[in-house]
A and B are shown apart, each in its own frame.
Chain A
Amino acid sequence: QKEVEQNSGPLSVPEGAIASLNCTYSDRVSQSFFWYRQYSGKSPELIMSIYSNGDKEDGRFTAQLNKASQYVSLLIRDSQPSDSATYLCAVPNYGQNFVFGPGTRLSVLP
């Protein structure tokens, strides 16, 4: 089973700042990665996916993948209080299921 690690946080950033969330994974053959956002008391929802080395931008979100170093990160620019949530990193596990990291709790302070 693959392992996915994340800093549990909480990570606190002021409104308008850049929030940086990191994820490392154990398996060098992993090809695709996902970031889910989970608000308190709600279910996870997909916000980003990335498959290739480098950056992928979607609005205020940028996912960065470095397969050689086995890490994937999520940057949130111009952070808003509405971004306060737990962010989960996920990796497909040999085509059978998905493995999730423990999540990083982000708090954006007004």
Chain B
Amino acid sequence: DAGITQSPRYKITETGRQVTLMCHQTWSHSYMFWYRQDLGHGLRLIYYSAAADITDKGEVPDGYVVSRSKTENFPLTLESATRSQTSVYFCASSVGAPSGANVLTFGAGSRLTVL
């Protein structure tokens, strides 16, 4: 299927465990992003990537690791999950550098609960 897909859609884990959220897009978009959404905070940027092998921190990167070995994939790893990382995580992509011409398209989201 064309588009941007996230997996898993729902995940429950325990404090201290490693968790990886997957994001795959079929549009060959250059830019990919990970946001988390929490009540009272809106969408906050965790990491973004301008191209394969190019990643950069966003507003809230602590506790997260990303990689982008292929243009179409942008996994997000929580190396040692904490309760404060309970959130809804959205992956998004844009064809080029964020601007008026290059809008964001979001995946369906991954709801993560850390017990």
Inter-chain contact A44/B106, CB cutoff 8 Å:
yes
Task: Specify which chain B residues have a CB less than 8 angstroms from the CB of A96 in the assembled complex.
Answer: 48, 50, 56, 97-98
Inter-chain contact B100/A98, CB cutoff 8 Å:
no
How many residue pairs bridge A and B at CB < 8 Å? 58
> What is the CA–CA distance of A44 and B107 in the complex, to the nearest angstrom?
9
Inter-chain contact B104/A46, CB cutoff 8 Å:
yes
Task: Specify which chain A residues have a CB less than 8 angstroms from the CB of B41 in the assembled complex.
Answer: 102
Task: Specify which chain B residues have a CB less than 8 angstroms from the CB of A103 in the assembled complex.
Answer: 42
Q: Is A20 an interface position by the 8 A CB rule?
A: no
Inter-chain contact A43/B97, CB cutoff 8 Å:
no
Count residues of B near A (Cβ-Cβ below 8 Å): 25
Binding-face segment, A9-17, A71-79, A85-93: A85-93
Task: Specify which chain B residues have a CB less than 8 angstroms from the CB of A34 in the assembled complex.
Answer: 103-104
Inter-chain contact A100/B98, CB cutoff 8 Å:
no
Inter-chain contact B106/A45, CB cutoff 8 Å:
yes
> What is the CA–CA distance of A66 and B90 in the complex, to the nearest angstrom?
30
Q: Is B108 an interface position by the 8 A CB rule?
A: yes
> What is the CA–CA distance of A45 and B48 in the complex, to the nearest angstrom?
19
Interface residues in chain B, defined as those with a beta carbon under 8 Å from any beta carbon in chain A: 31, 33, 35, 40-43, 45, 48, 50, 56, 58-59, 90, 97-100, 103-109
